[in-house]
Every structure is written in structure tokens, then in C-alpha cells.
Amino acid sequence: MSSSPLALEERLAVMEAQLNEISAFIREERERRRETQELKNDLALIGRDMFQAAVVELEDVAGHFDTQDLLHLLKKLLRNTRNLNHMLDQLEGASNLFEDLKPLGKQIFGELLETLDDLDRRGYFAFGREMMALADTVVTSFSVEDIRMLRQNVVSILFTVRNFTQPEMLNAVNKAVEFYNKLDVTVERDVGYRSLIQQLRDPEVRRGIAFLLQFAKGMAQTAGNGSQDNLQMLTKQETP
């Protein structure tokens, strides 16, 4: 059975197409091998240069480095692989936590700036600067001995302040201030003994003089007791 010319031409065409594909594949494979060889040659040159550079750079540490040290380091790394993985996991978790806290940190920082701005508008910082200036004035105006005396007498000062802030004392001082504000006294230029004796007949005048005498007596007694107390304290300190 003979094949027709048409069928033979079709087979030849198929074979030619296949040969073309094989030729193209061979050319591509040849080109790929050539590129691979060029890459190997380039890498060999780079590796040789890197090796020579490493030899030159490692000459400084050649006396401090041994192959056994490198092997010991590799063994230690292998033994601590799990620890390194755990540390890297923790570092990754910390990085993720930091990324999650970034928005919160920005919000807190913004609120802090708003609070500081509000305090500045309300005068807190200006007040603090003035307080610092006041403290500086106190430090430059008083000596160490003055501060030591203040420390030794601070108890007496506090007792005095406490007594002065009692309601009765504040009421008395308030009344005295009110009386002083309302006081309108005109003293004649020439005051004779006769006019003074006549004023002594007034019960209010005699009551005021008696109050002043009692006040002066009380102050004298208090001063005397204080002097005796101080003398006793000094005697106790001097007694071994």
C-alpha cells in the first residue's frame, strides 16, 4: 500500500517542525550553559579576591584565632539552637508588641502634650519658675548657720504658729484689726496732767490700763520662764 504525496509532505513538515524545536532547544541549552560557565568564572574570580582579602584582613587576628575555637563556637551554636530560636521568637514577639503599641503610644503622647499645654496656659510652669526663683533667693540670702538655727528652733516656731492660728487668737486679731481700721483718735498737741487725770476717771480708760498692765506682766513672766528653760537646757547639755 503506497502513501499519497500529500501524506508524505505532511509527515515531512511535522518532522521539520520537530527538528526546528530540537535545534532551538539545543541553542537555548547551549546559551544557558555558556551563561552558567560565565557565572562560574565570575564567581570564581570574586571568590578568589574575597579569599585573598580575607587572608590579608585576618592576618591581624591570626595569633588570636584557632580552628579549634571555630569548631568550639559551631558546637556551642548547635547546642544552643533551641535557645537561639526561643530568643528569636521572643524578639519577634517583642517587635510585634511594639508595632501594636505604636498607636497607643502616639495617643498617650498626644494626650501628654495636651495636658502640658493646658498646664502651661493655666500658669503652672510660670508658678514653678517663680518658686525656683524664690528658692534661689532664699539660698542666696541665708547662710548655713541661719538654716541650722531655723532647724533648731523650728519646733518653737511651729508651736507659735499653731497657737496663733487658734480660733480665739484669730478672732482677737480680727477684732483688733477691725478696731484699728475704725479708730479715729485725735491727740491734742498740748496734753496736761490735769486732762490725763480727768481721763483716768473714765472706767473704760482704767480697764484698758489694767489690761495693758496684765499683758505686760504676762509677757514678762513668759520671758522669764523661757530664760529659765533655756538655762536648764544648756545646763543639761553641759552636764556629761
pLDDT tens digits, 9-31? 888 888 888 888 888 889 898 89
Check residue 239 and give its pLDDT. Answer: 47
Residue 152 lies in a domain: no
Residue 235 lies in a domain: no
Entry pTM: 0.33
DSSP string, 92-152: HHHHHHHHHHHHHHHHHHHHHHHHHHHHHHTTHHHHHHHHHHHHHHHHHHS-HHHHHHHHH
Residues of the chain with pLDDT under 70: 1-6, 61-62, 64-65, 179-180, 182-193, 196, 219, 222-240
Check residue 140 and give its pLDDT. Answer: 86
132 and 85, same structural domain?
A: yes
Distance CA 177, CA 162 (A): 20
Residue the block writes with cell 528653760: 229
Query: Taking a C-beta distance cutoff of 8 angstroms, is the pair 160, 166 a contact?
Result: no
Distance CA 69, CA 58 (A): 15
Residue 239 lies in a domain: no
Residue 39 lies in a domain: yes
Residue 89 lies in a domain: yes
* Residue positions counted in the chain: 240
87 and 54, same structural domain?
A: no
Residue 109 lies in a domain: yes
Q: What radius of gyration do the chain's Cα atoms show?
A: 53
Residue 64 lies in a domain: no
86 and 52, same structural domain?
A: no
**C-alpha cell read off for 217:** 506682766
Domain that holds residue 129: 80-141
Q: How many domains does the chain have?
A: 2
Q: Pick from 141, 164, 187: which residue ends a domain?
A: 141
| 61-91 as b/e: b if 16+ CB within 10 A | eeeeeeeeeeeeeeeeeeeeeeeeeeeeeee
Question: What single-letter DSSP state applies at residue 60?
Answer: T
Check residue 182 and give its pLDDT. Answer: 65
